[in-house]
Chains A and B, each alone.
Chain A
């Protein structure tokens, strides 16, 4: 028996979905797809995966710098989301709930990597000792000119991000790259808005210091 909360059904009867409710894509709203998926409709969940796999993969790969591991972790995120879907009550947007699962999956992965020893951490996360021009992750072939153009600044940013804490890195990427609002970041990271502000403040401060130091 599927249990769809009454207030979710109420939302389904609302007017046309906004961009925030559809991940900026055409089609049924997230709430409608979530309700169908909660009733056991795998195709509805497929649509949600298709809608958000790019964002989830991007935040993971930006955090851990390992495309193969990110592929697996993104799969784990959606598998966990499917398992936890009966408990999702839409108090937050579906995508922030997904980001929260992704944050927890990455956090657990990093903790396990650390417990295996510093060597693994060095190769997987730290990018500050990479050679100029080296690729930071195995990707599909990029044209040499475009790679050179994009490469240098990206690598300096990667190296700087690798030197700040996981919490600071997550907060700044969620804000500046994913474009989440303060309260959404707080929801994803399971902390107060005050803590988010503090993390953003120190993340920016440290990144600026590191980038300035590396320029000198």
Chain B
């Protein structure tokens, strides 16, 4: 008797019926190579289960959830095109209707004519749009965006307690020329901390 791949796998996993297992184990008792295979397979499976986690939270799980929620909300508010509408309608429903062919033809024509116009109306994310507004600290709002001027991702934290001067050492402050140049030290400390991070 020669074991198939499936029999081997089921035997190693303890998934054979009683009669099948008895037959395979009778075979294994006379085959040291098969016994050695079983032993090292048991060790391998045990090591895999011990060393790898079936569940592992991503870093900052609340940020993960927040970021995803934001993307889902963007997705939900995005105008639906004809493709999305068509996917929501079950094809058999359409096929059962007598006007299906005529409607499909008209739809194709309409899609052909209006698709370019429709595409122009779809929202396009600006390269300077806010990337995230998540803050783990209550009372502090955060907004991050890419600033082409600074060539950096800027994180704006609003509501932060005034920082001491020594806490600001090494941080680079950005300012808007249109608003009259750099803020005074007190303005910077009291109102808004704008940190520049490498992009």
Contacts and interface: CB of A to CB of B under 8 A. Distances in A.
B47 A153 contact: yes
Given A40-B76, A53-B61, A82-B72, A177 B5 contact: no
A53 B6 CA distance: 32
A27 interface: no
Contact of B54 (A78, A140, A172, A178): A178
B2 interface: no
Interface string A138-163: 00100000000010011001000000
A65 to B, nearest CB: 11
Most interface-central of B54, B61, B65 (chain A CB within 10 A): B54
Nearest to B37: A208
Interface in A185-209: 194, 197-198, 200-202, 204, 207-208
Contact of A79 (B47, B51, B54, B75): B75
Nearest to A212: B40
B64 A74 contact: yes
The SS class assigned to the B binding surface is: helix
Contact of B68 (A75, A173, A177, A197): A75
A175 B45 CA distance: 10
B114 interface: no
Interface string B90-115: 10000000000000000000000000
A154 B61 contact: no
Interface residues of A, number: 48
B85 to A, nearest CB: 11
B41 A208 contact: yes
B94 to A, nearest CB: 13
B55 A45 contact: no
A176 B49 contact: yes
Contacts of A150: 51
A82 B73 CA distance: 11
Contacts of B55: 54-55, 58
A111 B12 CA distance: 32
A157 B71 contact: no
B6 A197 contact: yes
Interface in B37-80: 37, 40-41, 44-45, 47-49, 51-59, 61, 64-65, 67-69, 71-73, 75-76
A53 B76 contact: no
A207 B61 CA distance: 33
A7 B96 CA distance: 21
Contacts of B12: 204
Contacts of B59: 67, 71, 140
Contacts of B127: none
Interface in A76-101: 78-79, 82-83, 86-87
A50 B73 contact: no
Given A140-B59, A178-B54, A42 B47 contact: no
Contact of B56 (A57, A198, A211): A57
14 contacts: A42-B73, A53-B58, A54-B56, A57-B56, A58-B56, A83-B75, A86-B87, A157-B47, A177-B49, A179-B54, A204-B12, A204-B41, A208-B37, A208-B44
Given A42-B72, A46-B65, A211-B44, 6 more contacts: A54-B58, A79-B72, A87-B87, A153-B51, A179-B54, A200-B9
Interface of B: 5-6, 8-10, 12-13, 37, 40-41, 44-45, 47-49, 51-59, 61, 64-65, 67-69, 71-73, 75-76, 87-88, 90
- Nearest 4 Cβ contacts at the A-B interface: A54-B55, A201-B5, A58-B56, A197-B6
